[in-house]
């Protein structure tokens, strides 16, 4: 089958991000022609003028629709796309020049209907962005679940960097209206109906994450709330590792209590762990400051995710609340 690629990019009030992404797409190694479908998800700050600057150089289709969330906007874009294989990106990524070549090489050798790629920090990113990227991708903090080569099979792709065939889109119905969490939900549904979902380790993107500490906490807290919802929707998908941030959080507060009572052992263990994080992040990024910031990012990630995960489990599994009632802010309404 001849693959015809369509990039699907939802955007919400981020014209500057779209400009940077399109600039990086101009530098892609052209193995074949491709189209770019940009879906403006009810933005009040339009990207249309930015897109006009690139139409002479790139094959871009632009659509504006009411705000129904990124998942529904991706579905809209895939319905409008002309290709038979969709490459789904967030607006806050940059593409290395060999991105499309890596995808083509892998799909030519081992075709799959759905794949995900990892994310990395570009050298131009701020120290904060690099520290948060470390916290979210390092084996020492997340076990490498966002792109560990040991996770090649049964990988749950994330929609900042995801490939999906038209066939898989049509048979699955695409993304749901939960956000975040719409991407692992889709991956689990695809697996249930017989599609493979795999990792292509070399098809990475630079994920910029325009974020501050407060937004980062809010983001990971939502991730924690979503996971028990997905566990209930998809019995058998739950893993013990999903509890680790909550266990870490509880253990840390126990260590503080024990420290106040004169017992230092558990607290010292946590200090050693954070010291290892700081040293590893500093050496990897060649920056003492990023090492220190990575410690804070890791702490925020565990506390944010852990509290969200426990709260969600309490509401869903003990109070028996429906997800849309327990966390209405996690769900969009489809107006199309």
Write the DSSP string, 123-154: TTS-HHHHHHHHHHH-HHHHTTTTT-GGG-BT
Statement to judge: residues 276 and 167 lie in one domain = no
**Same domain for 172 and 42:** yes
Residue 150 has pLDDT above 80, yes or no: no
Answer for the pair 226, 174: CB distance below 8 angstroms, yes or no. Answer: no
In a domain, 332, yes or no: no
Residues 105 and 242 grouped into a single domain:
no
Same domain, 49 and 188: yes
61 plus 173 within the same structural domain: yes
The pLDDT, as a whole number, for residue 41 is 95
Position 334 in a domain: no
Q: Specify if 242 maps to a domain.
A: yes
| Cα gap 137→144, rounded to integer Å | 6
Given this model, what pLDDT does residue 29 score? 86
Tell me, yes or no, whether 48 and 177 share the same domain.
Answer: yes
Q: pTM here?
A: 0.91
Collapsing DSSP to helix, strand or coil, 271 comes out as helix
Is residue 145's pLDDT more than 60? Answer: no
Could you tell me if 141 and 161 lie in one domain?
Answer: no
pLDDT by residue (tens digit) across 169-209? 999 999 999 999 999 999 999 999 999 999 999 999 999 87
pLDDT given at position 147? 46
Q: 144 φ, ψ to 5°?
A: 75, 25
| One domain, residues 198 and 283 | no
Residue 207 domain flag? yes
End residue of a domain, out of 166, 185, 211: 211
CATH code of the domain containing 172: 3.90.550.10
Q: Give me the pLDDT at residue 153, please.
A: 56
Both 310 and 188 in a single domain? no
**Residues 178 and 313 reside in one and the same domain:** no
Q: Measure the CA–CA gap between 188 and 137, rounded to whole angstroms.
A: 21
Give percent above pLDDT 70 in the chain: 96
User: Which domain covers residue 286, as residue numbers?
Assistant: 125-146+212-326
């Amino acid at each position: 089958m001849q693959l015809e690629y369509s990039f699907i990019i939802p955007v919400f009030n981020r014209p500057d991000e779209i400009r940077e992404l399109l600039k990086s797409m101009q530098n892609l190694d052209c193995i074949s022609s491709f189209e770019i479908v940009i879906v403006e998800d009810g933005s009040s700050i339009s990207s249309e003028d930015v897109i006009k600057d690139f139409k002479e150089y790139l094959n871009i289709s632009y659509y504006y629709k009411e705000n129904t969330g990124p998942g529904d906007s991706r579905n809209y874009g895939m319905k409008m796309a002309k290709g038979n294989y969709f490459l789904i990106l967030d607006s806050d990524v940059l593409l290395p020049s060999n991105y499309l070549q890596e995808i083509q090489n892998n799909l030519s050798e081992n075709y799959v209907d759905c794949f995900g790629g990892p994310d990395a920090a570009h050298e131009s990113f701020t120290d904060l962005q690099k520290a948060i990227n470390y916290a979210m991708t390092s084996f020492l903090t997340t076990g490498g679940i966002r792109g560990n080569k040991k996770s090649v099979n049964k990988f749950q792709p994330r929609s900042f960097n995801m490939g999906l065939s038209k066939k898989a889109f049509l048979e699955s119905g695409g993304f749901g209206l939960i956000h975040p969490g719409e991407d692992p939900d889709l991956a689990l549904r695809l697996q249930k109906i017989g599609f493979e979902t795999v990792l292509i380790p070399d098809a990475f993107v630079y994920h910029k994450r325009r974020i501050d500490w407060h937004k980062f906490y809010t983001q990971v807290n939502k991730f924690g709330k979503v996971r028990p919802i997905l566990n209930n929707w998809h019995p058998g998908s739950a893993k013990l590792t999903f509890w680790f941030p909550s266990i870490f959080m509880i253990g840390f507060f126990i260590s503080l209590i024990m420290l106040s009572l004169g017992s230092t052992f558990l607290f010292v263990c946590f200090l050693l762990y954070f010291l290892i994080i700081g040293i590893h992040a500093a050496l990897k990024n060649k920056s003492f400051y990023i090492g220190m910031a990575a410690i804070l990012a890791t702490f925020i990630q565990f506390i944010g995710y852990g509290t969200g995960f426990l709260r969600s489990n309490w509401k869903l599994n003990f109070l028996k609340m429906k997800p849309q009632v327990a966390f209405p802010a996690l769900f969009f309404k489809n107006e199309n």
